[in-house]
Amino acid sequence: MIVMKFGGSSVADAACMREVGELVTQALPRSPLVVLSAAGKTTDALFAMARQAEAGQLEEALEAKRHLIVHHRGIAFELMADQTTSVLEDAITEISGELELLLRGVALLRELSLRSLDAIASAGERLSTRILATYLGAQWFDARAAMRTDDCFGAARPLGTEMATLVIERLAPYLAPGRAVVTQGYIGATAEGLTTTLGRGGSDYSASLFGSVLGAEDIQIWTDVEGVLTCDPRIVPEARPIGELSFAEAAELAAFGAKVLHPATIQPAVEAGIPVTVRHTRRPQGRFTTITGEVRTGRPVTAIASRGPVTVLTVSSARMLNQSGFLARLFDVFARYGVSVDLIATAEVSVSLTVEADVPLNALLGELGNFATVCVATNRAIVAVVGERLKVTPGITGRCFTALSNLNIEMISFGANEINLSLVVRQEDAPHAIRQLHATLIEGDLP
């Protein structure tokens, strides 16, 4: 069997859903599990109406909800005209009613908890999957019945053993040649039945998790580009599709800003030894990228990725000099606030590190200031050069720095693994850095 995951742009309207339907129909002999995101921009709309309700703008929130439901009813009618079923109508009405109750509750309390936000956000995937399943005459499956997670609302973590048991018991029996099963990405539920989400972009993760448990032959990520590109084409129009990627390269690119894949997607597939293919929904016969643990490309440089804005913290203290335990004390502060550190560089009496721009900065600075001085640099970006033979190819680092000789590089991370050279520059300098590196290392036909 295979897993076919379709993103929001692939199910944005009736025309897009027809294309998805054709792809799924062609794949019926392979027992496809179809994992859908919400229709394009739906999740953003749900977040926005939730914030309106929190601000006391209930009527505006309910009007936005009405437009959203009308839009989805319009998709259903355009797909099926008078063939829409009472089951679909009832499902859309039920989701609409739940949304209204949730929005009214948020407005009444003037409080939007992550738990409430997850319940609201889940409506998008539930709507898109109900419509596609009805259009295809396929089995609809509520992912919350199998995607068991913890209660970290907004960024829930799947509970591996429990989730796998439920997938085998509840989802697997529906899969068979000639039959498609349609389910949701991004959403799950706690043991108590409370709706959770896996974080933005989590539909890829759902697809990978389902596929790894079910022993899929292929996990297909259908999107609006022909595979993973050597760079963001919005910055570098000359970006090229990459035919094959190793799992390690793909994981690095995803973690450092490549938009095609969710950063956590790769790991379940790696562990299960299942290839992931990234394909263009509207060009199914076009080029695509295959990601597998068996690929050894031998390329010094494969792609350039970037992520930003990030914040650079430089922590300095004379207590670091020849003193054990300083770094443990430093990272204990980050751990207590749940802040993840990306890059780190150390000197005799200072440590520089990068964190996401939305961390609780004032609280961190307050605690770190008890034993060190901290310099803060905001609006920075990480630019990552990724390639399997990056570390062992002579001259690569020299070419990187020559390409960026007219820019100020504020931090460098290299050597933690063999395939990633990460540089920190000002956010406004990142596009220029990316273009320069791509021209020198990829367009320049590096040997």
Domain edges within the chain:
2-223, 303-441
Predicted structure pTM score: 0.84
Say whether pLDDT at 84 is over 70.
Answer: no
Q: Once rounded to an integer, what is the mean pLDDT over residues 31-53? A: 96
Q: What's the pLDDT score for residue 445?
A: 53
Tokens encoding 320: 């670091």
Give the confidence band of 38 by pLDDT, cuts at 50, 70, 90.
very high
Tokens encoding 53: 């309700």
Report cis status (omega within 30 of 0) of the bond before 309: yes
Say whether pLDDT at 190 is over 90.
Answer: yes
Structure-token match 């990030």, residue found: 310
Q: What's the pLDDT score for residue 296?
A: 66
Q: What's the pLDDT score for residue 24?
A: 97
Tokens encoding 431: 């596009």
Residue 194: which of 116, 104, 258 has the closest Cα?
Answer: 116
Measured CA to CA, the distance from residue 233 to residue 173 in angstroms comes to 42
Tokens encoding 308: 């930003």
Give the confidence band of 416 by pLDDT, cuts at 50, 70, 90.
low
Read off φ and ψ for residue 345, nearest 5 degrees.
-140, 140
Q: Once rounded to an integer, what is the mean pLDDT over residues 295-308? A: 81
Give the confidence band of 263 by pLDDT, cuts at 50, 70, 90.
low
Q: Which residues pair with 179 in a beta bridge?
A: 176
CATH architecture of 303-441: 2-Layer Sandwich (3.30)
Residue 80: which of 1, 133, 9 has the closest Cα?
Answer: 133
Chain mean position to CA 344: 23
| pLDDT one-digit tens code per residue, 92-137 | 999 999 999 999 999 999 999 999 999 999 999 999 999 999 999 9
Say whether pLDDT at 414 is over 50.
Answer: yes
Q: What's the pLDDT score for residue 446?
A: 44
Specify the long-range contacts of residues 333-341, CB closer than 8 Å, at least 24 apart. 333/364, 333/367, 333/368, 334/364, 336/367, 337/363, 337/364, 339/364
Task: Please say whether the structural domain 2-223 has been given the CATH code 3.40.1160.10.
Answer: yes
Q: Which strand (E) or helix (H) includes residue 353? A: strand 350-356
